[in-house]
Amino acid sequence: MITEFNVQLAMESERKKLDLAVVAQGVLNCLKDPWKGRYFIALAEEEVVGQLMITLEWSDWRNGWIWWIQSVYVKPGWRKKGVFRGLFHKVEEEALLAGDVASLRLYVEQHNYNAKEVYKKMGLLPAGYEVLDKPMDKGQS
């Protein structure tokens, strides 16, 4: 399900068609190695309806972790029903329990205004940074 959600997310938010085999292997590698990331899954009526993934970045400036929220996806029929809010609050709760998390961050496509509004309601505000990217993976980014 995570693989399918990631493929749908890329198409919906960035109009990118991802290679299913590459995504499946990436998800599997993440599930095998917690240093690569950690998935949070939302269930409703015994069905997976949403997900997000956390990756870690150490901040020497803050002497703490930055948890990056990535791969956010909620099935269309479950949007605006609190699924992301529930996932986000669970991440927030775990970050507070960890005690060494300086910040929760995410990046969002510039023109994804709906997502930006949702994130703003959760207290996620522009951080004043711009993400730059140099692909190193033969066009898979």
Specify the 3-state DSSP secondary structure of 11: helix
pLDDT at residue 110 in the model: 87
- First vs last C-alpha separation in the chain: 21
Q: Which pLDDT band holds residue 138 (cuts at 50, 70, 90)?
A: low
pLDDT at residue 124 in the model: 95
Better pLDDT: 35 or 110: 35
Radius of gyration of the CA atoms of the chain, in A = 15
pLDDT at residue 141 in the model: 54
Lowest model confidence (mean pLDDT) among 52-56, 71-75, 113-117 = 113-117
Residue 48 burial (C-beta neighbours within 10 Å; 0-12, 13-18, 19+): middle
Alpha-carbon gap, residue 27 to 37, rounded angstroms: 9
Residue 19 above 90 pLDDT?
Answer: yes
Alpha-carbon gap, residue 19 to 12, rounded angstroms: 15
Contact 104, 69 (CB under 8 A): yes
pLDDT in tens, 33-43: 999 999 999 99
The secondary structure of 81-110 as a DSSP string is: TTHHHHHHHHHHHHHHHHS-EEEEEE---T
Write 76-84 long-range contacts (CB < 8 A, 24+). Answer: 77/49, 78/42, 78/44, 78/49, 78/50, 83/42, 83/44, 83/49, 83/50, 84/50, 84/52, 84/118, 84/122
pLDDT in tens, 37-69: 999 999 999 999 999 999 999 999 999 999 999
Going from N- to C-terminal start, the domains of the chain cover: 35-121
CATH number of the 35-121 domain? 3.40.630.30
Q: Which pLDDT band holds residue 127 (cuts at 50, 70, 90)?
A: very high
